[in-house]
Amino acid sequence: MKSVLFALPNQIPQPGLFGNLNNLKYPTFPPLGLMYIASVIEKLGNSVEIIDLSVFDYSDEYIFKRIVSADFVGINVFTHSFKLAKNLARRIKSLSEDILIIIGGPHCTFLKEKSLNDIPEAKIAVVLEGENVIKEIIKYLEGKRNLSEIPGIYYREGKEIKKGKPFEIIEDLDLIPFPARHLIDESKYGKFPWYDFSKIKYTSMITSRGCPFRCRFCSRYCNVFPRWGYRERSSENVVKELVELNDKYGFVTIVDDNFLTNIKRAHLIFDELIEYGTDILIQILGTRCDIVDRVLFDKMKRVNVRYITFGVESGNQDVLDFYNKKITLNQIRNTLKLADDFGFNNSATLILGAPIETKTHINNTIDFICSLPLDHIIVHILFYDMGSDLWVEAVKEGKISKDEFEVPSIIERGLSNFTYDELINYQNIVARKFYMRIKYIIKQIIKSINDKDSLRLKQIIRVLISLQFKNFLFPIDVHK
């Protein structure tokens, strides 16, 4: 049996590096979810191919050659880009009218049967985790299962959309085979706004699913599937994958929502990596700002953890409390000070547009992040995403329809004190004020030299001699 899995662009515009305000779009991460599904398909003895349309817009002729003999195709659907999936499904059907199309991903999980109405060319929609579900779908294609018997799907039967059996959570994540990384071209990934890791063979991995915390802005599956909870892979299983990656890759990003949730497990993982002597560079993408563990940071440094992204979100305590972050500004300062002492490259995520946020709040955030030992910032505009507590509350208050899955926090909808254009402008101002500081630039040059990071040093020099440096010479006064 042959299948083809399609990944679509899942790109988020961000203000550019060092005051470069041309929004960068970056297919940073490989399609990890599809790589897990592909691994399961291969373990069953079947053929599978991954086509990532975020890397290259392949021609109809190229796609046709790959799907003409396939038994089914799968499309990973994100809600903010589901129209791309709709167009792709239509395109596939125009090339091969009888082919079975299966869709999955966040859009299907939150919209359920509506996702099949959104993409009428698809016959099956998979909700939540697909590793076990795909096994059952293959049995259906072999004539060994009825769709009504398969848990975790919605399916089309004639003009009706029906539901399979209730979804079954994968309790033991160690049972899932490692992703089929050989099916993608690693050189196409790892391109962050501030660094191109693709040059040293980049990949990503995930060691847990879900998050035990409840930040109000975060889209949560448990708001539509109450049984969905936080689960972790064992330290042994995580180390086994990292040791395998150590022999094949130069850099890996751990993309958990919160990798250091279980400090005891983190210690075990790093202890084992120290014993193995791995040298792969590691980035930890999701980290809270309430971790002040010098012993843990020392172990992380010894196993080549180089980059850490912290969820700072705001420089205002009342905004952090509104988001239910359960951290304080002092905890943020202390954690980032310790991380800087160990020489990590530290990034912070920020969110603009909370309903209680004013211009004064934004200025406070600028002052706060400029006082922190940060190397990079990622500035987001608040969206009320389907599944988040903010979205649920806004639906109850009648500010958002239950059919709206992604609504910007704007004054026109009674969700913030700013228009969308104002938030975009502030997003750019925050980035510019942070990056275009002489103290910051000098520190980055010294850090690049000390780390022998020639690529980053070249990038800094390129920015300094560009026209973007005028943003430093003639700064904008946002406090007016």
Output the domain CATH number for residue 246: 3.80.30.20
Instruction: Extract the tokens encoding 455.
Output: 């690529």
Give the per-residue pLDDT at 23: 40
Q: How far apart are CA 229 and CA 246, in angstroms?
A: 30
Residue 70 counted as domain residue: yes
Residue 459 counted as domain residue: no
Q: Are 183 and 177 in contact (CB under 8 A)?
A: no
CATH code for the domain of 82: 3.40.50.2300
Give the per-residue pLDDT at 26: 47
Q: Mean pLDDT of residues grouped by 10 in the chain (480 residues)?
A: 86 46 57 96 96 87 91 92 90 93 94 93 96 97 96 94 94 97 88 74 94 90 81 97 96 94 96 96 92 93 95 97 97 96 94 97 97 93 93 94 91 96 93 89 86 72 57 41
Residue 442 counted as domain residue: no
Instruction: Extract the tokens encoding 242.
Output: 């990292």
Residue 235 counted as domain residue: yes
Give the contacts of 163 (CB within 8 A, at least 6 positions apart).
113, 153, 154
Q: Are 406 and 412 in contact (CB under 8 A)?
A: no
Q: How far apart are CA 373 and CA 138, in angstroms?
A: 51
344 and 415 housed in the same domain: yes
130 and 219 housed in the same domain: no
The residue with tokens 């795909």 is: 134
Coil, strand or helix at 257: coil
152 and 300 housed in the same domain: no
Which domain range does residue 428 map to? 201-435
155 and 219 housed in the same domain: no
Q: Long-range contacts: 457-460, Cβ < 8 Å, 24+?
A: 459/17, 459/194, 459/195, 460/18
Residue 184 counted as domain residue: no
Q: Are 297 and 284 in contact (CB under 8 A)?
A: no
Give the per-residue pLDDT at 123: 97
Residue 187 counted as domain residue: no
Give the per-residue pLDDT at 466: 54
Q: Write down which residue in 133, 163, 193 finishes a domain.
A: 163
Residue 57 counted as domain residue: yes
285 and 405 housed in the same domain: yes
**381 vs 259, 303, 427, CA distance in Å?**
24, 34, 7
Nearest to 121 by CA among 167, 59, 73: 73
Sign (positive or negative) of CA dihedral 429, 433, 434, 436: positive
Give the per-residue pLDDT at 389: 93
Give the per-residue pLDDT at 436: 85
Q: Are 40 and 86 in contact (CB under 8 A)?
A: no
Instruction: Extract the tokens encoding 240.
Output: 């086994």
Q: Are 43 and 55 in contact (CB under 8 A)?
A: no
